[in-house]
Amino acid sequence: MINGLGILGWGVGGIEAEAAMLGQPIYMLMPEVIGFKLTGQLREGATATDLVLVVTQMLRKKGVVDKFVEFYGAGLSKLSLPDRATIANMAPEYGATMGFFPIDDEALGYLRRTGRDEAVVELVEAYAKAQGLYRTDDTPEPLFTDTLELDLSTVEPSLAGPQRPQDRVLLRDMKPTFSDALKAPVDKRGYALQGEALERTATVVNGHTTEIGHGAVVIAAITSCTNTSNPSVMIGAGLLAKKAVEKGLTRKPYVKTSLAPGSKVVTAYLDQAGLTPYLDALGFQTVGYGCTTCIGNSGPLPTEVSAAVKEGDLVAAAVISGNRNFTGRVNPDVKANFLASPPLVVAYALAGTVDIDLENEPLGHGENGQPVYLRDIWPTQQEILDAVASNITAEMYREQYGNVYDGNPMWNAIPSATGQVYSWSEDSTYIHEPPFFQNMPAEAQGVAPIAGARALALFGDSITTDHISPASTIGANSPAGKYLQARGVEKKDFNSYGARRGDDRVMLRGTFANIRLRNLMLDNVEGGYTKYLPTGEQLSIYDAAMQYQASQTPLVILAGRDYGMGSSRDWAAKGTFLLGVRAVIAQSFERIHRSNLAMMGVLPLVFEDGQSWQSLGLDGSETFTIEGLDNDIQPGAKLSVVAAGAGGEKRFTVTARLDTPVEVEYYKNGGILQTVLRGFLKA
């Protein structure tokens, strides 16, 4: 978000952050800088969320992994600072290291509006101008590695889904797009339904009796990130709710709704504007602040709704205002997840289905029985601007942020340990002493060969860190669920993988445990399973990995493009390492996950251009030996892989994505944490 304010910064993986806390520098290759020119201004009815979905789609298509993106052009003068921050905050979704906006009049105005001292604002202005960093519409265009351009006036109301944030869908195309997704094959991000399966329905009885079908919106959540700190879209959602209530509309009874603002300031200005009662009336009561549904913390669906979805085997939908909609992330009962602006989230709660044309079909019927359309209740830009101007003050920010350390008495009342050494408890299933240093020799043992390795999994494109290390619900029959139950934890107290990320025993069992994961070593099997090759039986990936470890068999993973996209989840690399995976061979890696793998001592390898495991005729039954792997390995080294299978040997070349000499050093030490500890021991 800070990139929207002209502050240079970007996300790193949790493993890099841990190393930085221990005094280690972070190394990277000098990035290319892609210029993104913005012209014009948003049309009536378009929101910052609609804009960011266009930007995400364009940049994913362009390919900006490992690159900086800088926005420039006269269109910046038509974007508020929160709108810019919304775009900057989506950098992980469009793959860039960061999306940067320069300092200008709007940045200074934001500092004043949010209660910063005038002396600070004047210093920022003077410094930026002295350094030649201050942008105006007359500023000469910078030089970039490459550029692309967007006229803001072409942005239309949109959503993204049903499985990835870059898959933008125009609002007017939602109905046919969802219909196509139901019939599309699984490898095309569809649901492969045919014939009578397309017409399945179920009945929800929860005080109302309602028939639902595919596309029923069972979750509508205003949740997460800059969308819920952006006044224009939050006020817009409140105004839309007000008009809907005044028209006599209500949310559909099977829709689970929630509101999780990104800041208490949002609550203050919604209250000040008199909009909170209308959001409450439609079920959008405030449930907390920060990440909720977007990261899988929606909680279970109501029993009656969950039962109906399962009984009808329905492709139920969630519409959320978060950043990420990857499969298996939001809720285990929901297969189709769409990102949308907060006003559209409210609209879909009223409609109750994504299988609808909101431009031409009514949201519902008012108290007078007349149809009410989205256009009837959509607030104008002027209405939103007037409400923002009259209800948001700098004093709100000073009041809310002035007491962040004592504003939550319940949190402050939690007892905490003191001292320099943490006292681990074997009884805890939340925090456990990590195993990374157990039996670690004082001296690095050098690069170990990888020979006779087995494939733990074969994956296609766009495997996310959510697929690798889920942050959401822990299933009762999953390895992690069984482990917790064996420790006396009841299902209702499972919490989530994200909450238990301090316990390696839970997280190891949760690695590759996403309920929507598809390991292509198996036919039409969904979830965290694999074929245990010595016997041919189907096992959970965790159980198979433990059996391979018992026989000291190294493991590899083969994958397609964009492996590790999504959140910077350090356990996606840590869990991979603890399962015994020595190398991941993919067509391309997402930036943070590639770095995290290297820093955990897992070798990231990429196929030659135009090659894949499919084109090479591999099916995972082979054994893999990596030649050329020794202590003399250099950054970007070319290595040979020999895959021995029933049809003989296949040899192909891969590139080691150890990008810098220091990453090579980390790899030789078995990982960055081991490198740091050995350095401490020698000091």
78, 215: one domain? no
210, 351: one domain? yes
> Number of helices and strands (H, E) in the chain?
24, 23
- Domain membership flag for residue 376: yes
- Domain membership flag for residue 501: no
Task: Give the chain's end-to-end CA distance (angstroms, integer).
Answer: 38
334, 233: one domain? yes
**Residue 431 contacts residue 523 (beta carbons within 8 Å):** no
**Residue 473 contacts residue 301 (beta carbons within 8 Å):** no
200, 70: one domain? no
Bridge partners of 37, per DSSP, are 72, 149
Report the DSSP pairing between strands 217-223 and 209-213.
Answer: unpaired
**Residue 330 contacts residue 472 (beta carbons within 8 Å):** yes
What pLDDT score does 675 carry? 87
- Domain membership flag for residue 408: no
- Domain membership flag for residue 73: yes
| Helical spans, DSSP H, in 563-660 | 570-578, 591-599
Determine whether 268 is exposed, middle or buried from the number of CB atoms within 10 Å of its CB (0-12, 13-18, 19+). buried
- Domain membership flag for residue 131: yes
Nearest to 64 by CA among 92, 37, 29: 92
150, 208: one domain? no
**Residue 589 contacts residue 13 (beta carbons within 8 Å):** no
454, 590: one domain? yes
Give me the phi and psi of 506, to 5 degrees please: -75, -45
236, 317: one domain? yes
CB-based contacts of 23-29 (< 8 A; 24+ apart in sequence): 23/676, 24/672, 24/675, 24/676, 27/660, 27/662, 27/663, 28/659, 28/660, 29/66, 29/659, 29/660
Single out the residue in 120, 136, 154 at which a domain terminates: 154
- Mark the ranges of the chain whose per-residue pLDDT is less than 70: none
As a whole number of angstroms, the distance between CA 110 and CA 392 comes to: 12
As a whole number of angstroms, the distance between CA 569 and CA 465 comes to: 6
**Residue 286 contacts residue 267 (beta carbons within 8 Å):** yes
Residue with tokens 């090759």: 533
As a whole number of angstroms, the distance between CA 560 and CA 459 comes to: 6
As a whole number of angstroms, the distance between CA 219 and CA 345 comes to: 9
Q: Is the dihedral of CA 93, 95, 97, 103 positive or negative?
A: negative
In sequence order, what are the residues at sequence separation of 6 or more whose Cβ sits closer than 8 angstroms to the Cβ of residue 145? 32, 33, 34, 67
Asked whether the bond before 162 is cis by omega within 30 degrees of 0, the reply is yes
- Domain membership flag for residue 122: yes
**Residue 529 contacts residue 540 (beta carbons within 8 Å):** yes
589, 459: one domain? yes
What pLDDT score does 243 carry? 98
Tens-place pLDDT, residues 25-78: 888 889 999 999 999 999 999 999 999 999 999 999 999 999 999 999 999 999
DSSP conformation class of 172? G
- Domain membership flag for residue 174: no
As a whole number of angstroms, the distance between CA 668 and CA 447 comes to: 5
Nearest to 528 by CA among 515, 537, 546, 538: 515
Single out the residue in 100, 125, 154 at which a domain terminates: 154
203, 149: one domain? no
Is residue 652 within a helix (H) or strand (E), and if so which, with residue range? strand 648-656
- Distance of CA 328 to CAs 315, 325, 341, Å? 13, 9, 21
DSSP conformation class of 295? G
242, 140: one domain? no
Tens-place pLDDT, residues 634-645: 999 999 999 999
What pLDDT score does 269 carry? 95
674, 550: one domain? yes
DSSP conformation class of 431? B
Single out the residue in 133, 154, 175 at which a domain terminates: 154
What pLDDT score does 439 carry? 83
HSE-CB at 584 with a 13 A cutoff on CA atoms is 32
- Domain membership flag for residue 511: no
Number of folded domains that form the chain: 3
563, 638: one domain? yes
| Helical spans, DSSP H, in 534-647 | 541-550, 570-578, 591-599
CA max distance for the chain: 80
Residue range(s) defining the domain that contains residue 262: 196-394
CATH number at residue 222: 3.30.499.10
Considering the entire predicted model, what is its pTM? 0.88
CATH number at residue 617: 3.20.19.10
